[in-house]
Structure 1
Amino acid sequence: MVRRDGGRPSLRELAAAAEVSVPTLRHYFGDRAHTVEAVLAECLRRGRPGLDAQRSSDKRFDQSIADYAADLVLALTAPKAVRLGDVFAVSLAEGFLDPSLGPPALIHILDPTIDALQARLAEHVARGEMIATDLRAAAIVLVSPLLVACLHQQQLRGQVTSPLVMSELVDDVVAAFVRAYAAPATGVSRDVGSLAA
């Protein structure tokens, strides 16, 4: 399902991919929506170690943000059979097209990413490196342009029709975030353009 090699799979196609019968799939998961929710939950289970690793950083605020941004973009675009960007694309599509799958897409895919970054940002606030603010909103401010740019370039094939220089975009996003959220007296360099390289 998350390989994106076709349209939205039917319950029959999901059963075939799981190498079980439709009645077996229905027995364990119920309808298609519950089956998709189970797939998203499994994606979260498999991704949990990577998310947990992003919850903290002992580096300065500016370097920590640059590292986070680079790691997120790498995970979203890594040359694998199923990239994190594919998981986001499928979960967002399912959530947009089926209202019952919006909350599971948030709970299992988008919110854990936001939550991990929010925990990291809380450490920077506690150390006096970042202004006290709505950390959930700040996490969304950082993740959103990176996620959209990766989906634009990879899953929507923007690298063919309107390519971006991702390294420059990442540098610009990091620099803007650090300018907006760094605590005034941290000694954080305002010249962060080369940190994400």
Structure 2
Amino acid sequence: MPRPAGVRNQDFEEKRLALVTAASSFLLSDDVEAPSFRQIAIAVDTSEPTLRHYFQDRSGVIIAVFEQLHELAASMRAAAAVVGPSIEESVTDYLDLMSQYRENSLYIRAHRFGIRESMIDEKARRAYLENLVMPGVEAVANRLFKSPGWSGPLHAARQAAMMLMGSSIFMVLHQELLNGKKYAPMDVDAYFERMKIWMKPGLAEHPDPSVQN
């Protein structure tokens, strides 16, 4: 007797997780560009009706992959949130960490996937923001806010986190995702060292423009 519509099989979550893992491996591959729902089903070796049973539609698959990436990035967020003995050292250590991420293929592929899907799907845009972008911002903001020597409010720490992350991520994506290291090579180590010189004084002694004198 067929299962009534809407009823889940007992191993629903286990099978769904296996499909998400397979879809993630496919969607984050270097040679994949915005595949259709049918192409995703073929890649994970299942039928479109089965994939629809677990995710409803293409957006559901993409959101599930972002949710899995959120879990996989937990250790990265933990490292980004580590507080140094001073605001200057917290900034230095964070930029050293970002410099290392240019060798982290998961980090690069996850942001490539996020940027690509955000351009074509509103639901994916929100999922990228909520699962990868803002958790990263909050991790770095907490690092700065809790560092000895920081004197601004939490919202200012979030703004500083956006500046640090934006300039760092763009350099990594420029060199790795856009293949800048081949077509427009830059001295990435010198870039991050220069950022330390520029950013540390500003974050250690900064006026808060939101506070009226």
TM-score for the superposition, normalised by structure 1: 0.83
Runs of 5+ in structure 2 lacking a partner?
Answer: 1-26, 207-213
Residue equivalent to 2:47: 21
How many Å separate the matches in 2 of 1:72 and 1:98?
A: 28
User: Shift of the alpha carbon at 1:103?
Assistant: 0.9
Calculate percent identity across the aligned residue pairs: 22
Residue equivalent to 1:58: 84
Residue equivalent to 1:189: none
Question: Residue 196 of structure 2: which of 143, 161, 174 is its match?
Answer: 174
User: Shift of the alpha carbon at 1:154?
Assistant: 0.5
Following superposition, which runs of at least 4 residues in structure 1 exceed 4 angstroms of deviation?
none
Higher relative contact order (CA 8 A, sep 6+): 1
Runs of 5+ in structure 1 lacking a partner?
Answer: 185-197
1:120 maps to 2:146: no
1:137 maps to 2:162: no
User: Shift of the alpha carbon at 1:62?
Assistant: 1.8
Please identify the structure whose Cα radius of gyration is greater.
2
Within a 5 Å distance, the mapping from 1:35-54 to structure 2 comes to 35-54=61-80
Pair 131,175 (structure 1): closer, same or farther in 2 beyond 3 Å = farther
Supply the AA of the counterpart residue of 1:28: Y
User: Shift of the alpha carbon at 1:136?
Assistant: 1.1
How many Å separate the matches in 1 of 2:96 and 2:28?
A: 23
Cα shift readout 1:159-194 (whole Å, capped 9, x = no counterpart): 11111110111111222221211048xxxxxxxxxx
User: Shift of the alpha carbon at 1:151?
Assistant: 0.6
1:73 maps to 2:96: no
> Is the deviation greater in 18-27 or in 33-42?
18-27
Supply the AA of the counterpart residue of 1:101: A
- Secondary structure of the residue aligned to 1:7 is coil
How many Å separate the matches in 1 of 2:184 and 2:80?
A: 30
Supply the AA of the counterpart residue of 1:182: A
1:154 maps to 2:180: no
How many Å separate the matches in 2 of 1:112 and 1:20?
A: 32
Residue equivalent to 2:10: none
The answer as to whether partners of 1:66 and 1:174 remain within 8 angstroms in 2 is yes
> Is the deviation greater in 8-17 or in 24-33?
8-17
> Is the deviation greater in 52-61 or in 148-157?
52-61
